[in-house]
Amino acid sequence: MTETDVTLRVADLRVDLASGAQPVKGVSFDVRQGEMLGIVGESGSGKSMTLRAMSGLLPHGVRATVTGSVTVAGTELATASGLPPHHPRVGDRAAFGYVFQEPLAALNPGFTIRRHLLEALRAHGRLGDRSDRHDRLVAALADVRLPEPERVLRSHPHELSGGMRQRVVIALALIGRPHVLLADEPTTALDVTVAAEVLDLVQTLQREHSLTSVLVSHDLSLVAQRCDRVLVMYGGEIVESGAAADLMTSPQHPYTQRLLEATVDPFDPELRRTPDPEVESRAPLMTAGGVTVTYPARRRRQDPVVAVDGVDVAVRAGEVVAVVGESGSGKSSLAKALAGMQPVDDGDVRLGGRTVTTDRRDRTWLTGEVQMVFQDPYSALNPRMPVGTAIQRSLAIHQPALDAASRREEARRLLDDVGLPRSFEDRYPVELSGGQRQRVVVARALAAQPRVLLADEPTSALDVSVQAQLLALLRDLVDRRDLGMLLITHDFAAVRAIADRVVVMSRGRIVEAAPIDDLITTPTDPYTRRLLDAVPSARRTHTTQEST
Amino acid sequence: MTALDPTTAADPLSPGGVDPVLDPASARPQRVWRQLHRNPKTLVGLLVLVPTVLVAILAPWLTPYPYDQVYVGEVLGAPDADHLLGTDLNGRDLLSRLIMGTRVVVGIPLVVGLLTLLIGVPVGLLAGYLRGPFDAVAMRVVDIFLSFPWLLVALGLASVLGAGLSTVVVTLVVVYWPQVARVTRNSVIAVTEAEYVKAAAAIGESRTSIVLRYVLRNAYFPVLVLLSSMMAFSILNEAGISFLGFGIQSPDTSWGLELAAGSTYLSAAPHLVVFPGIAIVVVVLGMNLFADGLGDLLSRQGRNR
């Protein structure tokens, strides 16, 4: 490539924190004009730190020394003294535009969208003439394909959906006419179908504005699908870089290979699961029949919200049933109803000949039968309780015959079962990584000797390689202990990895229920197809483009 | 997919090693010292508070003269070699009286703090955890109590109980407990929303167990910080109440009482005001620094959670 082609050049970028840690250890890369570069890595790999350090956006209060050089469109931003300035400019354009993970956090809840845009215009010295200002604001929103821009201008952030908010954030980023658009996990907080739309938009804008962009993500298949070139970061260094296609087919570095192995492609035909006829012949352990959950209306004269609308689900011992849906589909309300934490308005949940209720007197029985694995392992454990004690509490409730010594021994055995060293029993949750904490949550659940495990998005807070391990652990436990498991998730990769049957929910109803292989290869419901189409994959076997 | 060892697998955030500050296994005294070193406010606070407590305990042996011994002919004497801080209106040695007064300065915050906790924490805990009608009633009672000015409470109680130590203690408890109840309630509400409290219910913990093992253990920091600054204020308030004549009565002594007695003779014997004043300022400042530093320490721990 010629020098004039390079829009962004980062050379030997280093970040030294005051604490002595070095999250970025000499990172160099070029991005050509109009290119989309992907940076992939797990938490702690330094990918976000790289993005922030080179753009002068290190988190407030972080004491760090940044060295190296950053050149945008031929102008060097970083000086020998370290940090690039806040909001650097090159010529009359901003050097960078930013899109962050959580659009709600990027917007001020007290400001209308109009005010956000005006602030951005002012910051970039582009307020201009009052007469056509309104038209320019409308045009900025129309540019990011927001419907009804006039209405959006008058709205506050909370009145918009997640996807619309992220479009607003992109519009704000584009106001400074940036040379480079930096996007840090821009779709992680969004539903899959919405995420796909937002990324489509970024690519369209990229073509229209001949924009250069850097996309940072933990999701290898997403980056590979969207970007021209990919950098893989690990431990603050770039361990591999190359064209996206090459990286997916022939990864060179062991870390990339491991990452790729851990990344489940739902459309990989090798993942076919052979059903066990013995398991399939079993009678269901837990049956939900016509379950309906409604929440009272928020305001008077509004109808109550029907979160779950006549849902039938059954799970047998030794099988994993996945309930898939986007946010608002009612899958979490269904999970709460199954766990007896949410009253059922119609229908019933039957378990071992009894009906599940929210009655406090049934709690000990119910929690001995149904245990939960929570979404966020960082908040599911009491920070003031060593993990061994956390497991022993569950034992004390559900196996009261055990004395203190045998409780302790049993808790250690459970740590073995979930693949943690026994020495962890004295540790506090803060000393454990996310994956380790989630294993403790699983061990605590097993301590109750349940027959059914309810896992609500058990992997969404974890890194990709850790996700794969945890899913393998859950499947293994289901097989070894003949548990019935309900996996509540939006993630088809997780479903593909361990589920036997899938139930797809939309707006409180089941739209499709099928064995996993059938669902992946021949989805019948249009909504299921849309969900599957939004999954980033290299081996997709069908697309809506073909079918519609 | 390969089964990786979960304890060593790619998780660069926790590469086997453990932050020594957070590791409960590392030696406690060193850890405490390191925390204090990083936090000079707490250190300075302790440098004031520890000697004060020692003086209070050893008071009868430290006083150069009996605190209530009258030396006729030495009324309002200026500081000299015999009476280092001078003598008061009745010819009593001021240094000895201030040393004895330390017992009030140490005792009042301890007693008031303890009683306040015993009333405020259970009320706040129940209100915050149960919510509903109990919460509504308890918080209205708290509102009513919060609207009492301490001066009025002291005046009312003095007319019932008579002036004295018990009036001081009861006044301060009446004024402080609603603050503790309110802060406890709010903290409990915040903690009750946490996922681990719901998780505790999901493993089958009883309500009592949830409250004691999960909620209270995580909700007490703000209460502790409030309490330590309230203890500092209780010294000032005791001085105020005694100054007005509703508190400790001569021949007993407290710093506030000495200040009050001396104020009449400000021009003739300024030492009667200056020394008790300095003593009050130094100790209250020390307590406030300690409380402030404690708050910093705990909030840092809170972030680490």
Specify the pLDDT at position B251: 80
Chain A hits for B194, CB-CB cut-off 8 Å, are 379
Residue of A nearest to B22 (CA): A431
Q: With beta carbons under 8 A apart, name residues in chain B contacting A465.
A: 4, 9-10
Six-digit token string for A467: 């996700």
Half-sphere exposure of B106 (CA within 13 A, CB side): 18
3-state secondary structure of B210: helix
A420 touches chain B (CB under 8 A): yes
Chain B residues with CB-CB distance to A233 below 8 A = none
Domains and CATH numbers, chain B: 41-60+83-304 (1.10.3720.10)
A32 by DSSP, 3-state: which? strand
**Chain B contact for A426 (CB, 8 A cutoff):** yes
Q: In whole angstroms, what is the distance from residue B41 CA to residue B38 CA?
A: 9
Task: Look at B6 and A439 and tell me if their CB atoms are within 8 Å.
Answer: yes
pLDDT tens for residues B146-159?
998 888 888 898 88
- Which pLDDT belongs to residue A547? 38
ipTM: 0.73
Cα(A201)–Cα(A191) distance, integer angstroms: 15
Q: Measure B139 CA to nearest chain A CA, in Å.
A: 25
CA pair distance B203, A385, nearest whole angstrom: 15
A268 CB near a chain B CB, below 8 Å? no
Residue A520 pLDDT:
87
Q: Are B112 and B234 in contact (CB under 8 A)?
A: yes
Report d(CA A296, CA A346) in Å as an integer: 15
Q: What pLDDT score was predicted for residue A500?
A: 92
Residue A281: C-alpha distances to residues A284, A315, A317, B96 (Å): 9, 12, 10, 91
Alpha-carbon span A188 to A171, nearest angstrom? 19
User: How many Å lie between the alpha carbon of B12 and the closest alpha carbon of chain A?
Assistant: 6
- Nearest-CB residue to A367 (from B12, B25, B204): B204
Q: Which B positions 196-255 lie with beta carbon below 8 A of chain A?
A: 196, 198-205, 209, 213-214, 217-218
How does A484-500 read in b/e, with b if 16+ C-beta sit within 10 Å? bbbbbbbbbbbbbbbbb
Tokens of A189: 């907080």
Give the A window 82-141 contacts with B, CB below 8 Å: none
Please, which residues have CB within 8 angstroms of residue B125's CB and are 6 or more apart in sequence? B184, B185, B188, B211, B215, B216, B219
Amino acid at A278: E
Rg of chain A on CA atoms, in Å:
25
Cβ separation B12–A235 shorter than 8 A: yes
d(CA A518, CA A504): 13
| CA–CA distance, A394 with B63 (Å, rounded to integer) | 58
SS3 B153: helix
pTM over 0.90? The answer is: no
Cβ of B13 within 8 Å of Cβ of A421? The answer is no
Cα gap B67→B251, rounded to integer Å: 9
The residues, ordered by sequence, that sit 6+ positions from A460 with a Cβ below 8 Å of its Cβ are A375, A489, A490, A491
Burial class, B22, CB count within 10 angstroms (exposed 0-12 / middle 13-18 / buried 19+): middle
**Does residue B12 belong to the interface with chain A, where contact is any CB pair within 8 Å?**
yes
Q: What single DSSP character describes residue B93?
A: B
Candidates A276, A312, A319; CA nearest to A292 is: A312
pLDDT score of B1: 39
Q: Judge: B22–A426 Cβ closer than 8 Å, yes or no.
A: no
Residues in chain A within 8 Å Cβ distance of B217: 382, 384-385
Rounded CA-CA distance A442/A473 in Å is 9
pLDDT at A341: 87
Contacts of A268 (CB under 8 A, 6+ apart): A496, A539
pLDDT over 70 at B17, yes or no? no
Helix and strand numbers (H, E) in chain A are 21, 22
Where are the alpha helices (H) located in A399-525, listed in sequence order? 404-417, 434-447, 464-481, 492-498, 516-521
For A339-366, what is each residue's pLDDT tens digit?
Answer: 888 889 998 999 988 888 888 888 888 9
Among A72, A83, A63, A91, smallest CA distance to A14 is for: A83
Question: CB distance from A383 to chain B under 8 Å?
Answer: yes
Say which CATH superfamily domain A1-91+211-263 falls into. P-loop containing nucleotide triphosphate hydrolases (3.40.50.300)
pLDDT at A411: 95
Minimum distance, in Å, between the CA of residue B112 and any CA atom of chain A: 28
pLDDT band at B271 (very low <50, low <70, confident <90, very high): confident
| Structure confidence at residue A293 (pLDDT) | 92
C-alpha distances in angstroms, A90 versus A78, A173, A195, A334?
A: 12, 15, 31, 53
- B19 in contact with A at a CB cutoff of 8 Å? yes
Tokens (6 digits) for A544: 């809506």
Residue A405: both structure tokens together: 């010594």
Contact A454, A486 (CB under 8 A): yes
For A234-272, letters b (16+ CB in 10 Å) and e give bbbebbbbbebeebbeebeeebbebbbebbbbbbbeebe
**Residue A461 contacts residue A401 (beta carbons within 8 Å):** no
Q: Which residues contact B123 (CB under 8 A, 6 or more apart)?
A: B138, B142, B177, B181, B184, B185
- For the record, the structure tokens of A173 come out as 């980023």
Phi, psi of A208 (to 5 degrees): -65, -40
Instruction: Classify each residue of B138-155 as buried b or exposed e, where b means 16 or more C-beta atoms within 10 Å of its C-beta.
Output: bbeebeebeeeebeebbe
Is A434's CB within 8 Å of B11's CB? yes
B196/A381 CB distance under 8 A: yes
DSSP string, A291-358: EEEEE--SSTTSPPEEEEEEEEEEEETT-EEEEE--TTSSHHHHHHHHTTSS--SEEEEEETTEE---
Residue A462: predicted pLDDT: 84
Question: Given CB atoms, is B14 within the 8 Å cutoff of chain A?
Answer: yes
Given a contact cutoff of 8 angstroms between Cβ atoms, the answer to whether A452 and A484 are in contact is yes
First to last CA, chain A: 40
Domains A1-91+211-263 and A270-296+304-547 share a fold: yes
Nearest chain A residue (CA) to B214: A382
Shortest CA gap B282–chain A (Å)? 33
B201 neighbourhood in chain A, CB within 8 Å: 341, 363
Assess B160–A contact: CB distance below 8 Å, yes or no: no
Tell me if A431 and B14 make a contact (CB, 8 A cut-off). Answer: yes
Mean residue pLDDT of chain B comes to 82
**Least confident among B99-108, B264-273, B274-283:** B264-273
Q: What is the DSSP letter of B141?
A: H
Cβ atoms of B94 and B258 within 8 Å: the answer is yes
Res B134 pLDDT > 70: yes
Apex CA A237: angle with CA A231 and CA A242, to 5°?
A: 20
CA distances from B231 to B67, B279, B290 (A): 26, 16, 11
**B12, B199, B205 ranked by CB distance to A397: nearest:** B205
What is the per-residue pLDDT for B2? 40
Nearest to A364 among B13, B22, B204 (CB): B204
Tokens of B139: 């918080």
Asked if residue A319 lies in contact with residue A275, where contact means CB atoms within 8 angstroms, the answer is no
Residue with tokens 């469109």: A73
β-strand partners of A233? A238
pLDDT in the model for residue A118: 92
Note whether B1 contacts A497, CB cutoff 8 Å.
yes
SS (H, E, C) A87-139: CCEECCEECEEEECCCHHHHCCCCCCHHHHHHHHHHHCCCCCCCCCHHHHHHH
- When pLDDT is averaged across residues B209-223 and rounded to a whole number, the result is 89
Stretch B3-19: mean pLDDT, rounded? 38
**Contact B303/A at CB under 8 A:** no
A371 contact residues in B (CB cutoff 8 A):
202-203
A270-296+304-547, what's its fold?
Rossmann fold (3.40.50)
Which letter does DSSP use for residue B215 in this model?
I
Task: For chain A, give every domain's residue range.
Answer: 1-91+211-263, 270-296+304-547
Chain A contact set for B205 (CB, 8 A): 393, 397
Q: Based on C-alpha coordinates, what's the Rg of chain B? A: 25
Closest chain B residue to the Cα of A380, Cα to Cα: B196
From first to last of its 548 residues, what are the pLDDT tens digits of chain A?
455 688 898 988 888 887 778 888 989 999 998 899 999 988 878 888 888 888 888 776 667 788 888 888 888 886 545 566 667 788 788 888 989 888 888 899 899 999 999 999 998 888 888 888 899 999 999 999 988 899 999 999 988 888 899 999 999 999 988 999 999 888 887 888 888 889 999 989 888 888 899 999 888 888 888 888 999 999 889 999 988 888 888 888 888 888 888 887 778 777 777 777 888 888 899 999 999 999 887 777 777 888 899 999 999 999 999 999 888 888 888 998 998 888 899 989 999 888 888 888 888 889 999 999 988 888 899 988 999 999 999 999 999 999 999 999 999 999 999 999 999 998 888 888 888 999 999 999 999 999 999 998 898 888 887 888 899 999 999 999 999 999 999 888 889 889 999 999 998 999 999 998 888 888 999 999 988 888 877 665 444 444 33
Which residues on chain A are in Cβ contact (under 8 Å) with B5?
A: 419
> Stretch B106-126: mean pLDDT, rounded?
93
CA dihedral B230, B233, B235, B239 (to 10 degrees): -140
Q: Is residue A445 within 8 angstroms of chain B, CB to CB?
A: yes
Check CB contact under 8 Å for A43 and B213.
no
Size of interface A-B (CB pairs under 8 A): 129
pLDDT digits (tens, 9 = 90+) for B19-39: 333 444 444 566 667 777 777
